[in-house]
Chain A
Amino acid sequence: MTDLQEEIKKMEKYDADVLVVGAGGAGLRAAIEASNANTKVIVVTKSLLGKAHTVMAEGGAAAALGMKDERDNWKVHFRDTMRGGKLHGNWKMAEIHAKQAPQRILELEKWGAVFDRTTDGKINQRNFGGHKYPRLAHVGDRTGLEMIRALQDHVVHEDNVEVLMETTITHLIKKENRVIGAVGYRRDSGNLVLVRAKAIILGTGGIGKAYKITSNSWEYTGDGHSLAFNVGADIIDMEFVQFHPTGMVYPSSVKGILVTEGVRGEGGILRNSEGERFMFRYIPKMFEGEYATTEEEAKRWLADNNSGRRPPELLTRDVVAKAILSEVKAGRGSTHGGAYLDIASQRSPEYIKQKLPSMYHQFKTLAGLDITKEPMEVGPTTHYIMGGIRVHPETQSTTVSGLYAAGEVSAGLHGANRLGGNSLSDLLVFGALAGEHARNYSNTISKYEEIDNSILEPIVNELLEPFKGEKTENPYLLHRELQHIMGDFVGIIRNEKDLTDGIEQINKLIEKSKSAGAKQGRKYNPSWHQALDLKSMLITSLLLAHAALARKESRGGHTRDDFPETNKELTQILYVLQKDENDGIKIHEEKMEDLPDELHQIIQGGDN
């Protein structure tokens, strides 16, 4: 027996009707929905259960419950989502999302989540950027923790769900056009894992670790994006990356860590170095007439949420991020190159500590700053990718049979820019749909496919490659190189020359990274993990750069200084990325389906 055959024999082997990759909000919600007496589900997570990136979500989950403001309903939420996405979102997904989000939130409450309350004992809802009415169900500024804990405590009591913690999936296996299994490794033992599956759901989250300044954790290496791309699934909208306007900018070791939009939702204002509240100057045409134009009016709104229009600090994230960048560029930035975010002058210390406890704690501990007394310094940070795997809006199926995707790794709902709070509700709504339809699909498959050695040998060989002696490149430093390339050439403001150079540099780095080496020892060896994660990050970065080069306009999270205007002709154009015959990237244009009249009218209409 060769070494490879020996390795294959030693692999941990599992069978799952539905394999869920990722244990954030989407993965866990999908697992709950997919499992039943006849459907065995395995959830694989790179971290421990309950640590997935969802735990970092702060502000809340958007759902038109109408508990804080009765005027709210699904139509307004739909309209806000479509307009926030600069009309590029998938309208069917936006409709499903707006309609189903409330029931998903109420269900979470029945599973034990404890949201903040209104004075009449219902779920309190908070104002957020781009949402017309207070809409975000929340728990202080730790909503993600509450959600993941409620889902986690629910999932561990499902009889037919098994969770493999600290396990990474690196390869999907396909037969004809259908996924039949997956391969990966366990961190703790270093064992390789083979899961045969009838259906697979990807809920792997985002790609932020390709950037240096990011609010994302180490897990966000674009695994799902590259897994899907590698088995031939369509990838769309990769050019749309959300740079959250308010990340910490100082001290340098915490640069990028998120400062929740909840600070602005609770009344926080942005000022430049001259003390000017500059956002009044940045209200885009699309939102003219909907935002306060004077400080006095904004103040009235803050007092009662009704008289006066919303303050411009609550414009969508893409707008606020670019405004801060413009201020810095014009020489009006804060000491460390950001803007001042001030809630101390707007709310009492007690209120701030009650509504934003973890922000208070975070600044106190990491920056030595008391946000009840002083303004914070904030600037844009890579936060979220709107693009990802193309899914069917009603079933979350991808273009590969048996493969489903939900949450950040999927694309469509958010269009060119995501509204804050729409991610947590996205996870629940589309996680549940993915779970339901993946289960249904798995029920149509009568047996597990045999996966023989000829398929596994090259995969196992690739997984163990970093251990070969001649591999000498340090994977951590290669990662840093990638982060610099992405920041310098595929950052917030892009143009053709930078993107072309960026693509060239990423390709060079891909060559170089073939020599990424790991130290010996399979047990909990992060150098090995890093070398493997790097592959996903590189592919994802390349997809992103190609898509960014293709879209010759500025829209939402995609800004080109050589095409600074939004081009109406491109609103419904998708750039679809696929793997070509030589394992390269091919890209083509597609026009999205037209909006039905009644939805079009909702978007056009003022009040609903």
Chain B
Amino acid sequence: MKDEKFQIKLNVQIGESLDNLKTETYSVDVDKKMVVLDAVHELQATQLPELAVRWNCKAGKCGSCSAEVNGKPKLMCMSKLSDYNLKEPISIRPMKTFPLIKDLVTDVSWNYEVNKRIKPYNHPNSSEYITMQQIDVDRVQEFRKCIECFLCQNVCHILRDHDLKDKFVGPRFLLRLASLNMHPLDTENRLGDIKDEFGLGYCNITKCCTEVCPEIIPITDEAIIPLKERVVDEFYDPIKWFLRKLFPKK
């Protein structure tokens, strides 16, 4: 059984540098069960072989094909054509927050640099096997569902509009820090880094990151806000402050 083919229009942003960008309109043969990435691939195979697009699994598992589809940050492989008004052209642009490489592909290497600065998981020293209960890792596992599509980084206005990449690590890495912080066995303390180096205070909880997460991770409510509470407890608790004054750390 074959699905019927018909034509749609794609408005695709083409170009390598900000001063030569153009948006071109292309007609592409599709069927109604296709996703946006299928349409982009069809365009590439039949009309625009050099079109740069990053993708891998085409099953929503790797987080490579992030783009802005009709202005919304999406994984192209999980965006069904049937969810769009196909009488109008679908607009496809690269993520805005990261430097453009070419066409739909951006340079996301900054994210990988940030990850290197996060102290890794530190397992307790023990010759015995240490057990963990499922209920104690549920939260951590939910955070670890992140596929690093960086759509949350893309919409975060601290990064997108204010470009504070040198001061703020963005929701993806606050989530990573939360997954380490809430790991029942991890022995590393990163709260100081979270407050200072990683710029937790810049987040003003607009929840844009949560809205675009394709894995539906409650980034703001379950990761960022609890981190903020922990930082407040640690650094802004008046009793703790007083004790620190009395017994300063060496």
Contacts and interface: CB of A to CB of B under 8 A. Distances in A.
Given A114-B132, A139-B144, 20 more contacts: A50-B62, A51-B63, A110-B123, A112-B123, A112-B186, A114-B137, A120-B131, A139-B141, A142-B61, A142-B145, A146-B144, A165-B109, A165-B112, A217-B62, A251-B34, A357-B145, A474-B45, A526-B49, A526-B51, A528-B50
> Considering the complex of A and B, which 10 residue pairs feature the smallest CB-CB distances, nearest first?
A121-B131, A112-B121, A251-B33, A527-B49, A476-B45, A519-B50, A524-B52, A117-B134, A524-B102, A110-B123
B3 interface: yes
B116 to A, nearest CB: 5
Contact of B80 (A53, A56, A366): A366
Interface residues of B, number: 58
A262 B33 CA distance: 26
A252 B3 contact: yes
Given A146-B144, A156-B112, A55 B61 contact: yes
A443 interface: no
Nearest to A157: B120
Contacts of B9: none
Contact of A217 (B3, B57, B115): B57
A519 B62 CA distance: 28
Contacts of B180: 112
Contacts of A525: 50, 52
B68 interface: no
Contacts of A518: 49-50
Interface in A136-190: 139-140, 142, 144-146, 149, 153-154, 156-157, 165, 188
B2 interface: yes
A252 B2 contact: yes
Contacts of B31: 251-253
Interface string B64-105: 100000000000001010000000000000000000011101
Interface in A39-53: 47-51, 53
Contact of B16 (A254, A523, A530): A523
A122 interface: yes
A252 B108 CA distance: 32
Contacts of B112: 48-49, 156, 165
B60 interface: yes
A481 to B, nearest CB: 12
B222 to A, nearest CB: 15
A305 interface: no
A326 B96 CA distance: 51
Interface in B100-159: 101-103, 105, 107-109, 112, 115-116, 120-121, 123, 129, 131-134, 137, 140-141, 144-145, 147-148
Interface in A105-151: 106, 109-112, 114, 116-117, 119-122, 124, 139-140, 142, 144-146, 149
B55 interface: yes
B58 A257 contact: yes
A251 B50 contact: no
A161 B180 CA distance: 23
B52 A526 contact: yes
22 contacts: A48-B64, A55-B56, A114-B144, A116-B141, A117-B137, A121-B133, A140-B141, A145-B61, A149-B144, A218-B56, A251-B31, A251-B33, A253-B33, A253-B34, A336-B1, A365-B78, A480-B45, A523-B52, A523-B101, A523-B102, A526-B53, A530-B49
Contact of B132 (A121, A252, A528): A121
B45 A477 contact: yes
B104 to A, nearest CB: 9
B18 interface: no
A327 interface: no
Interface in B26-66: 31, 33-35, 38, 44-46, 49-64
A111 B62 contact: no
Most chain B CB neighbours (cut-off 10 Å) among A144, A165, A257, A526: A526
B50 A527 contact: yes
A59 to B, nearest CB: 13
A549 to B, nearest CB: 31
Contacts of A469: none
Given A117-B137, A122-B129, A50 B102 contact: no
Interface of A: 47-51, 53, 55-56, 106, 109-112, 114, 116-117, 119-122, 124, 139-140, 142, 144-146, 149, 153-154, 156-157, 165, 188, 217-219, 251-254, 257-258, 335-336, 357-358, 361-362, 365-366, 474-477, 480, 518-521, 523-528, 530
Nearest to A112: B121
A51 B3 contact: no
A257 B59 contact: yes
A550 B51 CA distance: 41
Contacts of B3: 251-252
Given A116-B134, A253-B33, A474 B120 contact: no
A145 B115 contact: no
A124 B53 CA distance: 39
A353 to B, nearest CB: 12
A53 B56 CA distance: 8
A110 to B, nearest CB: 4
A217 B56 contact: yes
A525 B101 CA distance: 11
Given A122-B129, A149-B144, A476 B44 contact: yes
Most chain A CB neighbours (cut-off 10 Å) among B46, B109, B145: B145
A477 B123 CA distance: 51
Given A117-B132, A366-B35, A526-B52, A51 B62 contact: yes
Contacts of A528: 50
A218 B45 CA distance: 14
Nearest to B41: A476
Contacts of B102: 523-524
A56 B58 CA distance: 10
A528 to B, nearest CB: 8
A379 B14 CA distance: 38
Nearest to A219: B56
A441 B60 CA distance: 40
B183 A145 contact: no
A146 B143 CA distance: 11
A122 B145 CA distance: 20
Nearest to B33: A251
A56 B33 contact: no
Nearest to A188: B101
Given A55-B61, A112-B121, A122-B131, A48 B137 contact: no
B120 A153 contact: yes
Contacts of A217: 55-58, 62
A52 B105 CA distance: 18
Given A111-B121, A365-B78, A477-B45, A526 B50 contact: yes
B55 A218 contact: yes
B110 to A, nearest CB: 12
Nearest to A111: B121
Most chain B CB neighbours (cut-off 10 Å) among A50, A121, A480: A121
Most chain A CB neighbours (cut-off 10 Å) among B51, B55, B57: B57
Most chain B CB neighbours (cut-off 10 Å) among A49, A366, A475: A366
B44 A365 contact: no
A56 B131 contact: no
Contacts of A254: 33, 35, 58-59
Interface in B160-202: 180, 183, 186
A527 B44 CA distance: 8
B184 to A, nearest CB: 9
